[in-house]
Amino acid sequence: MLAISSVLAVIALPLRGLYVSTGASMEEGFMLVFPTLVQQGRVPNVDFLHLYGPASLDALAVWFRVFGDSLESERTFGLLQHLGIIFGIYTITRAYGYITAVGAAIVSVFLVLTPIGLAALAWHGGVALGLWSLVFAVRGRATENTSNWWVAGGLAGLALGFRPDLALALAVAFAWALWHRRADLKVFAAGLLVGLLPMFIHLVRAGPVAAIEGMLIDPVFRLRPGRELPRPPSWGQVDGALQAVAESLPPWWRFPALAASHQLFIWFWSVIAITVGVAVWAVRHHRSTGSVVGGPSDALAIAALFGLGILPQALQRPDSTHLAWVALVSWSLFVVVIAQVLRRWAPSWRPAVLATAAVGLLMFVVCPFYTYRTYLLHSRVSAGNLPVPFEIERGDHRFWVGDPAVARAIDQMMPDLEALAEPGDSLFVGPGDLSRTVYADTYVYWLFSELEPGTYFIEMDPGLADAENSGMDAEIAAADFVVLTNTWGGWTEPNASVEFGSPEHNQAVADHHCLIGSYETNLVLLFQRCEGGGGLNPKDVAGRAPGIGGGGIDPNALD
């Protein structure tokens, strides 16, 4: 009980700050909007763009039905996903002793809570389910109780329903777990089919063509050119546009530290080295010691292979979020590896404590800005040592943004839109220049939940929404109201997102809508559909907008 309480104490310290933290205006925004659409019978990949599996939206839709669709409700669901990862790590490593397990779990806290706050993104739900599927697989290997394999298969199927791209990690881990276990494989496969039911239902509802296009073709092939970053990260500059803005006014950190870009460069190579090294060591250690099936070293090997299987996440877009999304497994298990080495060569040195301290020191040197600094920021807010971010509130819906100008602009726009719109009218929300759909303030849809989203591209990505013949121009023409935000007009990344897409989307606004209001020097623009159009091209206004950044967007949450 003391061990679990220790982990919970580390989690609790920044918790209040996390509940009122700046939100990722597109990612957290669509995790607020999409489940409500699912409740209304809308289908991902048919009625709106969604790049991941359907199960996370189904789960949140049920959660919102029970607990309401407030920001606090969504973040509580996200917290439960985070706890699933942290205590999955604890359970897998528990056989190595309480202190080792607590150390591994605490390391994971700094890698789980810091990248995206409490946003209920599908990745954390999928990883949590995947880790617990491994827990039951280890139990299945250690006992003759086949129900463990049925549960392991069910959880693995649900994990794929959250994030289909976990397939490689689960395949590698279960290839080890089920090797030469034909009877257990059949039970596992039965559970897997049950766990995949949300995916099968989605394939029927959306149709296989639309589902494959939305979950495979769009994210893997069409999206990559506009979202990928250099590998390795640049030494002399931060490549991610949102992360660069965040580093222009970083939180307090007075300890000696490498520059932000240097940390990302070194962290990238460290994540690769430790992920591969932990997997290789765990497999060789289990084989060389002749350890029992289902024993501690067996569990470590299976979990380490799962960590190896998620390594591509760190390679596709090596910003701090994706590096943390991989390190949260392998770096936590690294505590066990170091402790085992110390137990062999220096058993009197309190190996579990030293191992935890070693990994903690590694993070302090390699990636303190993206672990400890963020944790400290939220902890200071929790303690009342720092003010909360800027709140935007409409009815029982609220959102927190990081810049007062953005909060003022949205607050000024909302009464004008309320006065004009009727429930059921359609609303389109996008960036100021619709020929570069690099990001969107999706939470505005959630603030006006009585209005119908007027586009398939509620989530906006370069190469998808701004592509020629995407159909977004027709959606804009039909929308009753258009809200455009110029917060990220200065977006620059070393990828295809800097290229301009089709001009037809800006022209659709000019041809069919009149400007109703401009707020905070064109930071937010409100248009209404009008006869003949107003003739104002949003791109011309975007060029005169401040483009200040800081609009409540998590600088790392892009996928």
pLDDT in tens, 339-373: 999 988 877 679 999 999 999 999 999 999 999 99
End-to-end CA distance of the chain: 37
C-alpha angle with apex 296: 9 to 367, nearest 5 degrees?
45
Residue 553: inside a domain, yes or no?
A: no
Q: Region 35-63: what's the mean pLDDT? A: 97
Residue 184: inside a domain, yes or no?
A: yes
pTM of the model: 0.95
Do residue 534 and residue 439 come from a single domain? yes
**Phi-psi category of 225—alpha, beta or left, where left has phi over 0 and alpha has psi -120 to 50?**
alpha
Closest CA to 437 of 411, 412, 455, 414: 455
Look at residue 95 in the predicted model and tell me its pLDDT.
93
Residue 400: inside a domain, yes or no?
A: yes
Domain end position, chosen among 358, 380, 402: 380
What SS3 class is residue 453? strand
Do residue 409 and residue 452 come from a single domain? yes
Look at residue 547 in the predicted model and tell me its pLDDT.
63
Q: What one-letter code names the amino acid at 403?
A: D
Residue at token pair 């971010």: 389
Residue 86: inside a domain, yes or no?
A: yes
Do residue 525 and residue 430 come from a single domain? yes
Residue 549: inside a domain, yes or no?
A: no
Look at residue 166 in the predicted model and tell me its pLDDT.
98
253 is in which domain, residue-wise? 2-380
Q: What one-letter code names the amino acid at 107?
A: V
Q: Is the pLDDT of residue 542 over 90?
A: no
Distance (Å, whole) CA 295 – CA 306 = 17
Do residue 440 and residue 370 come from a single domain? no
**Phi-psi category of 449—alpha, beta or left, where left has phi over 0 and alpha has psi -120 to 50?**
alpha
Residue 370: inside a domain, yes or no?
A: yes
Look at residue 90 in the predicted model and tell me its pLDDT.
98
DSSP state of 519: E
**Phi-psi category of 53—alpha, beta or left, where left has phi over 0 and alpha has psi -120 to 50?**
beta
pLDDT in tens, 411-470: 999 999 999 999 999 999 999 999 999 999 999 999 999 999 999 999 999 999 999 999
Non-local CB neighbours of 53 within 8 Å, separated by 6+ positions: 122, 126, 160, 161, 162, 163, 164, 198, 199, 202, 215
Look at residue 555 in the predicted model and tell me its pLDDT.
36
Distance (Å, whole) CA 115 – CA 375 = 10
Residue 397 contacts residue 36 (beta carbons within 8 Å): no
Q: Is the pLDDT of residue 288 over 90?
A: no
pLDDT in tens, 316-348: 999 999 999 999 999 999 999 999 999 888 776
Domain end position, chosen among 327, 359, 380: 380
Residue 551: inside a domain, yes or no?
A: no
Q: Region 251-276: what's the mean pLDDT? A: 96
Q: Is the pLDDT of residue 554 over 50?
A: no
Residue 330 contacts residue 275 (beta carbons within 8 Å): yes
Look at residue 552 in the predicted model and tell me its pLDDT.
37
pLDDT in tens, 210-251: 999 999 999 988 999 999 999 999 999 999 887 888 888 889
Report H helices in 143-259. 147-162, 167-177, 182-195, 197-206, 208-212, 224-227, 241-248
Do residue 167 and residue 187 come from a single domain? yes
Q: Is the pLDDT of residue 482 over 50?
A: yes
Distance (Å, whole) CA 166 – CA 156 = 9
Do residue 338 and residue 414 come from a single domain? no
With a pLDDT cut of 70, the percent of the chain lying above it is 97
Look at residue 454 in the predicted model and tell me its pLDDT.
96
Look at residue 180 in the predicted model and tell me its pLDDT.
84
The tokens of 436 are what?
A: 């570069």
**CA distances, 239 to each of 145, 156, 264, 277, 558 (Å):** 50, 34, 10, 27, 13
Do residue 170 and residue 144 come from a single domain? yes
Residue 552: inside a domain, yes or no?
A: no
Q: Region 289-312: what's the mean pLDDT? A: 90
Count of structural domains within the chain: 2
Distance (Å, whole) CA 222 – CA 209 = 16
Do residue 446 and residue 513 come from a single domain? yes
Do residue 67 and residue 36 come from a single domain? yes
Do residue 316 and residue 335 come from a single domain? yes
Look at residue 557 in the predicted model and tell me its pLDDT.
38
Residue at token pair 């220049």: 433
Which residues pair with residue 206 across a beta bridge? Answer: none
Do residue 395 and residue 339 come from a single domain? no
pLDDT in tens, 250-261: 899 999 999 999
Do residue 207 and residue 287 come from a single domain? yes
Residue 558 pLDDT level (bands cut at 50, 70, 90): very low
Q: What is the mean pLDDT of the chain?
A: 93
Distance (Å, whole) CA 422 – CA 448 = 11
